[in-house]
Structure 1
Amino acid sequence: MTTPEIKLVDKLTITFLVDNTIEWMTKLPPGFVHEVAQQLAHTDVPHDPRTGVPILDLENYCCGVHGFSALIQTEVDGSEPHYTLFDTGPDSRSLIRNIEALKPPIERIERIILSHWHSDHSGGMLSFLRYRKAHVPADAPPCVVDLHPDRPVARGISPHNTGKVIGRLPPDPEFAQIEELGGVVEKHADGHTVAGGTVWVSGEIPRVTHFEGGLPGAVRWFEKDGKGEWEKEEDIMDERYAAIDVIGRGLVIFSACSHAGIVNVVKDAVDRFLRPIYMVIGGLHLAGNDLTDRIPPTVDFLSNKLRPAPTYVLPMHCSGFVAKVALEEAFGEGCVPAGVGHKVVVEGNPEAEEMMHRATYQ
Structure 2
Amino acid sequence: MMSPDAAPKRGGLALSETARALSTLAMMLSLAACGRFGVEGPGSPMQEAPVSGVEDRPEPDRASTLPRPTMHPADLPDVQEEIPSERKTMTDEGKVSLIIAILFDNNPYDERLTTAWGFSALVERGPHRVLFDTGGDGPILLSNMKTLGIDPASIEAVVLSHAHKDHTGGLESLLALGLQPIVYVLPSFSSGFKAQVGEVTQVVEVAPGQVILDGIFTTGEVVGEIPEQALVVTTEEGLVVITGCAHPGIDRMLQKARFMFGGPIRLAMGGFHLKSADDERVSHILRAFRDLGVESTAPCHCTGDRARGRFAAEYGEGFIQAGVGKVIVLPGG
TM-score range, shorter chain: 0.5 to 0.7
- CA shift for structure 1 position 291: 5.1
Task: Check if 1:88 corresponds to 2:128.
Answer: no
d(CA) in 2 for partners of 1:129 and 1:107? 10
Aligned partners of 2:150 and 2:296: how far apart in 1? 24
- Paired amino acid for 1:151: F
* Match among 165, 171, 174 for residue 193 of structure 2: 174
SS in 2 for 1:311: strand
Equivalent-residue separation in structure 2 for 1:292 and 1:125 (angstroms): 36
Any conservation in 2 of the 1:286–1:292 contact (CA below 8 Å)? no
- Cα root mean square deviation, aligned: 2.1
Residue number in structure 1 paired with 2:231: 242
How far is 1:292 from its partner? 4.8
Aligned residues: 239
Given the superposition, is the C-alpha separation of residues 93 and 106 from structure 1 closer, same or farther in structure 2, using an over 3 Å criterion? Answer: closer
Cα deviation code 1:252-282 (max 9, x no counterpart): 0011111111111111112122200100010
> Matches of 2:147 and 2:117 in 1, distance apart?
18
Check the 8 A contact 1:10/1:246 in 2, yes or no: no
Matches within 5 A, 1:336-355: 336-348=320-332
* Cα 1:338/1:143, change in 2 over 3 Å: same
- One-letter amino acid of the counterpart of residue 258, structure 2: V
Q: 1:67 aligns with which of 118, 122, 134?
A: 118
For 1:201, which of 207, 212, 218 is the aligned residue? Answer: 218
Cα distance, 1:100 vs structure 2: 1.9
Correspondence for 1:261 among 249, 256, 259: 249
How do residues 278-297 of structure 1 correspond to structure 2 at under 5 angstroms? Answer: 278-288=266-276, 292-297=279-284
Inter-CA distance 291–205: structure 2 relative to 1 (3 Å threshold): farther
List structure 1 segments (4+ residues) > 4 angstroms apart after TM superposition: none
Give how far 1:99 is off.
Answer: 1.5
Q: CA deviation at 1:200?
A: 0.9
> Residue 260 of structure 1 aligns to which amino acid in structure 2?
P
After superposition, what is the alpha-carbon deviation per residue over 1:77-122, rounded to whole angstroms, capped at 9, x for unaligned?
Answer: xxxx111000000123221221121121322211000011111100
Amino acid at match of 2:231: A
In structure 2, C-alpha distance between the alignment counterparts of 1:95 and 1:177, rounded to whole Å: 21
Structure 1 residues not aligned, in runs of 5+: 1-8, 24-34, 37-60, 76-80, 137-141, 154-172, 207-213, 215-234, 350-362
Query: What is the one-letter code of the residue matched to 1:108?
Result: S
Letter in 2 for 1:145: V
Q: What secondary structure, in the 3-state scheme, does the structure 2 residue paired with 1:174 have?
A: helix
Counterpart-to-counterpart distance in 1, 2:157 and 2:128: 9
- Residues of 1 paired with 2:198 and 2:176: CA distance? 11
Consecutive unaligned residues of structure 2, counting only runs of 5 or more, are 1-94
3-state SS, counterpart of residue 318 of structure 1? helix
Aligned counterparts, 1:82-231, within 5 A: 82-131=128-177, 133=178, 142-152=180-190, 174-180=193-199, 182-195=200-213, 197-205=214-222
Shift of 1:310: 2.3
CA offsets 1:238-260 (integer angstroms, 9 cap, x no match): x101111111x210001111111
Q: Which residue pairs with 1:329 in the alignment? A: 313
Match for 1:284: what amino acid?
F
1:274 to 244, 262, 265: 262
Distance in 2, Cα, partners of 1:291 & 1:283: 16
Q: Distance in 2 between matches of 1:292 and 1:185?
A: 40
Q: CA 1:291–1:151 in 2, change beyond 3 Å: closer, same or farther?
A: farther
TM-score by length of 2: 0.67
Residue 168 of structure 1 is matched in structure 2 by: none
